[in-house]
């Protein structure tokens, strides 16, 4: 009896370890982002965690390099292959450079999808676009043109020069810019989704193009840096900063007038949807093929097109009239 009593604590520990092992997630989904420390991806991670707790048996491994390079992501992918994760959902820093590493992951039975910023078709099973690419391309130039009835010089401050998503949006924008009378795109520069580099690039644009009327930054990092640069240069009212941004990061710049408006889809929903898709593919609940309909939980289902891509939802425009209601959400 005494012996049993003495052993009880040890038994309790053993029992905890055992249940711990049983309760450990039977699926590990790696959410790989362009770089750590970017608010947009941190919001997406919240959505990924939400999906994981809804699914119950999923662990999210949120990871990425320290800067937005393909090399950094290749290292991360190789580490995840070694850890034998079940799925990788990646926002890519380069369309093609990640393909060999991701092919290796798929050859080992790991489910691979891209989301936000795509990988070439042979390097992933499917891609989740946040919204329709032509729609985003049109929206970013329309946001600038709406405040330039007389037209004028505008410049683009992008993320990295190899980012699939920004490059597609800029291409789509350039296809329709002729529909906006007098709008003249004078330059496209790259801040690599680094605050300091984006700030310097924005200053460079203002110096090179003294007649600049708007900076279009289709990146949440670039737009904040550009708005700060415009404010610091005393050019609020002269240059409007617009593009894609988080209400939480731009509220001050909307209040100051450095930015009149910007757009974004819900990044929490995007991380949630990507996780749901990766889970359903890894579980074998769906196969990624043209025409396939895959569940995204509370976000409905995604139908893949002939390029095995689909779009989540439309972007929403934020300005002084509504930003306060959203700035605490994302
Ligand atoms: C940055 C990243 C991301 C992009 C957003 C709009 O956070 O470049 O890929 O979708 O901006």
180 belongs to a structural domain = yes
Per-residue pLDDT, 20: 46
Q: Which residues of 17-37 are buried (b: 16+ CB within 10 A; e: fewer)?
A: eeeeeeeeeebbbbbbbbbee
Phi and psi based region of residue 257 (left: phi greater than 0; alpha: psi -120 to 50; beta: remaining) = left
- With a 6 A CB cut-off, is 244 part of the ligand 1 pocket? yes
Tell me, yes or no, whether 228 and 294 share the same domain. no
Per-residue pLDDT, 7: 54
Domain of 98, in residue numbers:
2-131+267-313
Tell me, yes or no, whether 106 and 166 share the same domain. no
CB 140 within 8 A of CB 159: no
CA distance 59 to 8: 31
Tell me, yes or no, whether 9 and 105 share the same domain. yes
319 belongs to a structural domain = no
Tell me, yes or no, whether 115 and 101 share the same domain. yes
Which spans in the chain are helix H? 2-23, 39-55, 70-82, 99-107, 133-145, 164-176, 195-208, 220-232, 247-256, 267-282, 323-326
Tell me, yes or no, whether 198 and 295 share the same domain. no
Tell me, yes or no, whether 257 and 276 share the same domain. no
CA distance 167 to 276: 26
C-alpha of residue 10 to centroid of ligand 1, in Å: 50
122 belongs to a structural domain = yes
pLDDT in tens, the chain (330 residues): 455 555 555 554 454 455 544 456 889 999 999 999 999 999 999 999 999 999 999 999 999 999 999 999 999 999 999 999 999 999 999 999 999 999 999 999 999 999 999 999 999 999 999 999 999 999 999 999 999 999 999 999 999 999 999 999 999 999 999 999 999 999 999 999 999 999 999 999 999 999 999 999 999 999 999 999 999 999 999 999 999 999 999 999 999 999 999 999 999 999 999 999 999 999 999 999 999 999 999 999 999 999 999 999 999 999 999 999 999 999
Q: Whose CA is nearest to atom 4 of ligand 1?
A: 219
> Residue 316 phi/psi, 5° resolution?
-125, 145
- With a 6 A CB cut-off, is 93 part of the ligand 1 pocket? no
Per-residue pLDDT, 5: 52
327 belongs to a structural domain = no
Say which residues have a Cβ less than 8 Å from residue 26's Cβ, sequence separation at least 6: 57
Tell me, yes or no, whether 102 and 146 share the same domain. no
31 belongs to a structural domain = yes
Tell me, yes or no, whether 143 and 95 share the same domain. no
274 belongs to a structural domain = yes
Of 264, 279, 298, which closes a domain? 264
Per-residue pLDDT, 23: 52
Per-residue pLDDT, 113: 99
Per-residue pLDDT, 4: 53
CATH of the domain at 257: 3.40.50.2300
CA distance 315 to 264: 5
Q: Whose CA is nearest to atom 8 of ligand 1?
A: 219
Total length of the chain: 330
CA distance 177 to 153: 12
- Angle among Cα 69, 70, 72 to the nearest 5 degrees reads 70
C-alpha of residue 318 to centroid of ligand 1, in Å: 16
SS3 296: coil
**Antiparallel, parallel or unpaired: β 293-295 and 301-303:** antiparallel
C-alpha of residue 220 to centroid of ligand 1, in Å: 6
Tell me, yes or no, whether 102 and 204 share the same domain. no
Per-residue pLDDT, 1: 46
What tokens does 183 get? 């709008």
Residue 297, class by beta-carbon neighbours within 10 Å (0-12 exposed, 13-18 middle, 19+ buried)?
middle
Tell me, yes or no, whether 62 and 114 share the same domain. yes
- With a 6 A CB cut-off, is 91 part of the ligand 1 pocket? yes
| Helix 99-107 with 70-82: angle, nearest 10 deg | 10
Tell me, yes or no, whether 141 and 251 share the same domain. yes
Per-residue pLDDT, 22: 47
Whole-number Cα distances in Å, 153 to 8, 205, 216, 250, 324: 77, 11, 11, 23, 30
CA distance 119 to 97: 9
Q: State the total domains in the chain.
A: 2
214 belongs to a structural domain = yes
C-alpha of residue 326 to centroid of ligand 1, in Å: 18
Per-residue pLDDT, 3: 52
CB 146 within 8 A of CB 214: no
318 belongs to a structural domain = no
CB 302 within 8 A of CB 312: yes
- With a 6 A CB cut-off, is 34 part of the ligand 1 pocket? yes
Tell me, yes or no, whether 278 and 226 share the same domain. no
């Amino acid at each position: 009896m005494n012996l049993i009593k003495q052993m009880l604590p040890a038994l309790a520990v053993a029992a905890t370890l055992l249940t711990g092992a049983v309760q450990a997630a039977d699926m590990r989904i790696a959410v790989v982002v362009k770089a750590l420390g970017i608010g947009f991806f941190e919001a997406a991670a919240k959505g990924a965690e939400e999906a994981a707790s809804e699914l119950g048996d999923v662990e999210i491994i949120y990871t990425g390099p320290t800067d937005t390079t393909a090399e950094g992501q290749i290292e991360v992918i190789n580490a995840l292959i070694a850890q034998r994760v079940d799925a990788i959902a990646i926002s890519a820093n380069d369309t093609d450079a990640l393909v060999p590493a991701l092919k290796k992951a798929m050859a080992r039975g790991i489910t691979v999808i891209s989301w936000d910023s795509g990988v070439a078709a042979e390097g992933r099973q499917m891609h989740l676009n946040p919204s329709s690419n032509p729609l985003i391309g049109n929206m970013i130039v329309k946001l600038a043109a709406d405040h330039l009835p007389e037209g004028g010089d505008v410049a683009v401050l992008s993320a990295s020069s190899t980012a699939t998503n920004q490059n597609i949006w800029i291409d789509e924008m350039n296809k329709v810019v002729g529909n906006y009378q007098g709008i003249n795109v004078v330059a496209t520069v790259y801040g690599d989704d680094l605050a300091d580099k984006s700030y310097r690039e924005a200053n460079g644009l203002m110096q090179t193009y003294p007649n600049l009327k708007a900076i279009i930054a289709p990146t949440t990092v670039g737009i904040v840096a550009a708005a700060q640069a415009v404010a610091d240069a005393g050019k609020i009212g002269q240059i409007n900063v617009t593009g894609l941004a988080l209400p939480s990061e731009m509220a001050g710049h909307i209040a100051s007038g450095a930015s009149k408006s910007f757009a974004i889809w819900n990044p929490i929903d995007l991380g949630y949807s990507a996780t749901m898709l990766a889970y359903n593919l890894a579980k074998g609940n769906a196969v990624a093929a043209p025409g396939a309909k895959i569940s995204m939980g509370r976000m409905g289902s995604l139908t893949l097109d002939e390029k095995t891509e689909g779009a989540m939802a439309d972007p929403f425009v934020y300005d002084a009239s509504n930003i306060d209601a959203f700035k605490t959400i994302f």
